Chains A and B, each alone.
Chain A
Amino acid sequence: MLYYSADQPSQPKRGGVTALDQEPLTRLRAVRVPPPPPQTFSRHIESSQHVAETPASSHRFVVVPAFAAPSGHVNSDGYALLQLWEGQVLAADGGNVTAVVRDWTNPTMPDEEVTVSIDEFAPDEQVLVTPGAVFYWSIGYRTRGGTRERVSAFQLRRLPPPSKAERERAKKEAVALSALLGARRSI
């Protein structure tokens, strides 16, 4: 599982402003921590169509799902990922969610627009399913105690809002960039 921390590394400077791609990630520095079980975060359906609800996450810093392992890899929870998409919500109304999903298992697959029920998301998270929200949709098998489940799970990406320090630094660098690049000209 990748969590994002709010570390603030020092930044190299060039030409009076930070060279963006040389800057170590500030707000989004990834830190590896042991993954929680997937059901901590999401609601899942079993192949029998029985719907099981599980507690939604109260974590502030979720992230990229634990199941971002190679397809077919079986983790310690007995979960084998078959398919993973990243999605971005386009619209959420009338109990439906329309989103663009990008295939993370096979990046050569084209993006698709899908419409699913809002009930695919954990009840506590449904209020956050709004245009622009990013989520992960995984499909896999979980094998435990001689039982195999086919699992479809939707999990929202959660990132911390920018801190005051981050906002102040962004403002400062925006002023510098604007002074450097914002000069208008004509030929």
Chain B
Amino acid sequence: MPSSERRHPPASDEIEISLFGPGVGECVVLHLGDGSWMVVDSCCAAPGQGPIALEYLSELKVDVGSAVRLVVVTHWHSDHIGGIGEVFSKSKNADLWCSAAVDIEHFYELVRLLRGADPGVDEFAKLFTELVQRLPAGSRNVDATPGWAVSGRPMLRLPAGTAQPTAEVTALSPSDVAIARAHVKIGEALERAKTDLQSRRLVEQSPNEAAIALWVRAGAFEVLLGSDLEESTSPKDGWRAIVADHAAAARPAARAFKVAHHGSKNADSPDVWQSMLVSGAHAALTPFRRQKLPRPKDLQRLRSRTAELYVTADPEGRKPPRRDAAVDRTIREVAKKRIVLGGRAGHVRFRAPLGGGACDVALFDGAYRVG
């Protein structure tokens, strides 16, 4: 679909779920009705450009400063936080929510030690700075503190407006067990940072288990956003815990699903599809080319569960761009293997009436339907 088509904003009584992903990186932008928006994670529109969420909302002529009500950082992996500091600083009317896993002194200390040497850590430094700057000088106004997401905690509740019924956003994770595990890993990362002789850069561990999965209800439309949350062998965390909580909460099934962790087998839970999603739910995911996700068999598995499966960009990537001839010649001599990771962010857009009705799908910038 031509890019000009995506400049039309949703109607005030429509929900929109827009998923962006360039190859490595992910961002979800949602319209909750009546001109209220939320942003989940962040990536850049293209190499060297700003956050895709701000670019897109600008195209729609949305006033980011007033219309964005919620910014969520699901976890600290660099492919989910590129530009998130800028997104939040422009979203003056938004609450910030992070995983409770990072609400620990060791994490603040880690950010202070690695700031300036690690781009991912710098994004958290920007978030903390913005939060501090929003405080009246000398105050300890807790209303300006971020929300710390744990399983079952409500994050946003918008009352019924002129065109839309109530919208609610609830955290489905992390569990207490996942938070405790993440705290151990943060402590280990801090010890490394104190003695690191050569990099001063955070080595990404596996905080996926502490990621925030989200339940969004806007009118009659329910959405499940899986972040990078992976399955667990324990009933106390991962998707097993969420499925159990979902049954207890007696929520209706979701019609749209942001597939968890790039469609990987590790994040796959048949129970999610059976008990949390409607049959034939609209599902979308972003690739993660560094780990070659999703693999062809991942796409086959997901396609067997829904015919409405969409990916923001080709998981294989494209041919390396051409540079100066001498540079290209040297790369061929030196590099045994090359994979292009990024590029222009592809875009999968779902829109549906808040009161119920068919879901409209639009694809931009290389996004495609899995046939």
- Whether A and B are associated in the same complex: the answer reads yes
From A19, A106, A177, A185, B133 is in contact (CB under 8 Å) with: A19
Tell whether, in the assembled complex, residue B336 and residue A117 are in contact, meaning their CB atoms are under 8 Å apart. Answer: yes
Determine if A33 is an interface residue (Cβ-Cβ < 8 Å): no
Tell whether, in the assembled complex, residue A175 and residue B105 are in contact, meaning their CB atoms are under 8 Å apart. Answer: yes
From A15, A49, A113, B339 is in contact (CB under 8 Å) with: A113
A interface residues, how many (CB within 8 angstroms): 68
Instruction: List chain B residues, Cβ under 8 A from A170.
Output: 109, 112-113
Determine if A52 is an interface residue (Cβ-Cβ < 8 Å): no
A56 CA / B4 CA spacing, docked (Å): 54
Q: Which stretch of B188-196, B206-214, B299-307 is in the interface?
A: B188-196
Determine if A110 is an interface residue (Cβ-Cβ < 8 Å): yes
Instruction: List chain A residues, Cβ under 8 A from B339.
Output: 112-114
Q: Which stretch of B12-20, B248-256, B326-334 is in the interface?
A: B326-334
A167 CA / B200 CA spacing, docked (Å): 13
Instruction: List chain B residues, Cβ under 8 A from A25.
Output: 116
Question: B190 to nearest A CB, angstroms?
Answer: 9
Instruction: List chain B residues, Cβ under 8 A from A141.
Output: 326
Known: A180-B140, A187-B154. A100 touches B341 (CB 8 A): yes
Q: Which stretch of B34-42, B55-63, B123-131, B277-285 is in the interface?
A: B123-131
B interface residues, how many (CB within 8 angstroms): 75
A96 CA / B116 CA spacing, docked (Å): 28
Determine if B226 is an interface residue (Cβ-Cβ < 8 Å): no
Question: B348 to nearest A CB, angstroms?
Answer: 20
Kindly supply a per-residue 1/0 record for chain B positions 312-344, scoring 1 wherever the CB is within 8 Å of any chain A CB and 0 otherwise: 000000001101101101110111111111110
Tell whether, in the assembled complex, residue B324 and residue A83 are in contact, meaning their CB atoms are under 8 Å apart. Answer: yes
- Give the dominant DSSP class at A's interface: mixed
Determine if A14 is an interface residue (Cβ-Cβ < 8 Å): yes
Question: A155 to nearest B CB, angstroms?
Answer: 11
Q: Which stretch of B142-150, B237-245, B263-271 is in the interface?
A: B142-150
Instruction: List chain B residues, Cβ under 8 A from A111.
Output: 24, 47, 340-342
From B197, B321, B326, A82 is in contact (CB under 8 Å) with: B326
Question: B55 to nearest A CB, angstroms?
Answer: 15
Question: A121 to nearest B CB, angstroms?
Answer: 11
Determine if A173 is an interface residue (Cβ-Cβ < 8 Å): yes
A177 CA / B109 CA spacing, docked (Å): 9
From A173, A180, A183, B112 is in contact (CB under 8 Å) with: A173
Instruction: List chain A residues, Cβ under 8 A from B3.
Output: none
Tell whether, in the assembled complex, residue B140 and residue A21 are in contact, meaning their CB atoms are under 8 Å apart. Answer: no
From B104, B138, B148, B198, A15 is in contact (CB under 8 Å) with: B138
Tell whether, in the assembled complex, residue B126 and residue A21 are in contact, meaning their CB atoms are under 8 Å apart. Answer: yes
Instruction: List chain B residues, Cβ under 8 A from A50.
Output: none
From B145, B155, B196, B338, A183 is in contact (CB under 8 Å) with: B145
Tell whether, in the assembled complex, residue B117 and residue A108 are in contact, meaning their CB atoms are under 8 Å apart. Answer: no
Kindly report which residue of chain A lies nearest to residue B197, judged by CB atoms.
A161
Interface residues of A in 5-50 (CB under 8 A from B): 14-17, 19-22, 25, 27-28, 45, 49
Kindly report which residue of chain B lies nearest to residue A97, judged by CB atoms.
B336
Instruction: List chain B residues, Cβ under 8 A from A159.
Output: 117, 196, 198-200
Instruction: List chain B residues, Cβ under 8 A from A133.
Output: 198-199, 201
Determine if B368 is an interface residue (Cβ-Cβ < 8 Å): no
Tell whether, in the assembled complex, residue A187 and residue B109 are in contact, meaning their CB atoms are under 8 Å apart. Answer: no
From B113, B133, B334, A116 is in contact (CB under 8 Å) with: B334
Tell whether, in the assembled complex, residue B137 and residue A115 are in contact, meaning their CB atoms are under 8 Å apart. Answer: no
Instruction: List chain A residues, Cβ under 8 A from B156.
Output: 187
Question: B318 to nearest A CB, angstroms?
Answer: 9
Instruction: List chain B residues, Cβ under 8 A from A165.
Output: none
Kindly report which residue of chain A lies nearest to residue B115, judged by CB atoms.
A20
A168 CA / B155 CA spacing, docked (Å): 35
Of the A-B pairs whose beta carbons lie under 8 Å apart in the complex, a sample of 26, sorted by A's number, is A21-B125, A82-B324, A82-B327, A90-B290, A107-B47, A109-B47, A109-B323, A113-B337, A114-B331, A115-B336, A115-B337, A120-B334, A132-B202, A134-B201, A139-B331, A157-B198, A173-B108, A173-B112, A174-B105, A178-B103, A181-B145, A182-B103, A182-B105, A183-B142, A185-B148, A187-B155
A-B interface, 7 closest residue pairs, ranked by CB to CB distance from nearest: A110-B342, A174-B109, A107-B48, A132-B203, A174-B108, A170-B112, A115-B337
Q: Given A20-B132, A139-B330, 7 other A-B contacts at CB below 8 A?
A: A15-B137, A100-B341, A107-B47, A108-B48, A150-B329, A182-B105, A183-B145
